[in-house]
């Protein structure tokens, strides 16, 4: 998830959660030309259910004091990523 082999100050955190859907958007076409989100569950319409999210959820500044855990919540799939 986070690659610490590089000596950069900011580390990018990418969500590795799965895209979920509801009954309303389950039968919709999944093509890259669709834009927007499902009005019921908030799923992006250009991604299939079960596909990896790959959304950048935040950056961690490694120059700050060390912390035990940092939690990030993804806006697209609602997965909580802890580093």
Burial of 3 (C-beta count, 10 Å sphere; 0-12/13-18/19+): exposed
pTM of the model: 0.65
Note whether residue 21 is domain-resident. Answer: yes
Cα–Cα distance for residue pair 10/14, rounded to 1 Å: 13
Which residue, among 57, 55, 52, has the nearest Cα to 18 in the 3D structure?
52
The two structure tokens encoding residue 27: 């039968």
Note whether residue 1 is domain-resident. Answer: no
The residues, any chain, with a CB within 8 Å of residue 67's CB and separated by 6 or more, are: none
In the numeric block, the tokens 């076409």 are attached to 29
Note whether residue 15 is domain-resident. Answer: yes
Note whether residue 41 is domain-resident. Answer: yes
Give the structural domain span for 62.
Answer: 6-83
Total domain count for the chain?
A: 1
pLDDT in tens, 29-40: 666 666 788 888
44 pLDDT tier (thresholds 50, 70, 90): confident
């Amino acid at each position: 998830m986070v690659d610490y082999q590089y000596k950069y100050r900011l580390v990018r955190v990418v969500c590795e959660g799965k895209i979920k859907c509801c009954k309303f958007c389950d039968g919709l076409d999944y093509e890259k030309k669709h834009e927007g989100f499902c009005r019921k569950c908030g799923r992006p319409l250009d991604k299939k259910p079960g596909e990896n999210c790959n959304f950048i959820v935040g950056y961690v500044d490694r120059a700050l004091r060390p912390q035990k855990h940092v939690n990030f919540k993804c806006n697209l799939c609602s997965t909580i990523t802890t580093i």
